[in-house]
Amino acid sequence: MSDTALTKDFTTEAVLSVLTGRLLCDIGGIYEVLNWMTGESLYTHQLPRVGREAEPVILGMHPHLAEAVAEADQVNAENYAAWSAKWKARYGESIAIPRFNIAEHERIDPMSELAEKAHPDRIVVLDGSQREGQS
């Protein structure tokens, strides 16, 4: 699938993890969905905001997924696998997800956004261009 495609299929677990806030897959699945929707390489602290932006976009394309969002409060560490299986049976193995348009997503520099959340003295930027012992 090309980078200019309007939709892309992702696992049901990854899509519902984004929508419900319940981790049903490896965290990498959430990054895949949200990175593709934004066309960016998101940082961890950006996932909650972008997930909130994604919810109305995904539900706009798939309003039937609102049922899973309503049921998500029942999901916990003991029963998440059963809910995941139930939702896969209901919605299929994958769900097509659209890209954001310019009005649906606010692009924010990751370091600027982090500075809004944490005092700048607590932010450490690692530069991997030089290794220890090399100059």
Give a three-class secondary structure readout of 56-111: HHHHHHCHHHHHHHHHHHHCCCCCHHHHHHHHHHHHCCEEEEECCCCCCCCCCCHH
- Contact indicator for 51, 21 with CB cutoff of 8 Å: yes
Residuewise pLDDT in 10s, the chain (135 residues): 445 579 999 999 999 999 999 999 999 999 999 999 998 888 888 899 899 999 999 999 999 999 999 999 999 999 999 999 999 999 999 999 999 877 676 676 555 655 566 656 665 666 766 555 555
Which is nearest to 54 in space by CA: 73, 68, 34?
Answer: 34
What Å distances lie between residue 37 and 23, 26, 30, 40, CA to CA?
Answer: 18, 18, 11, 8
In the 8-state DSSP scheme, what is residue 7?
E
Domain boundaries, the chain: 7-107
Cβ-based neighbours of 36, under 8 Å, separated by 6 or more? 8, 10, 97, 99
- Whether this model's pTM surpasses 0.75: yes
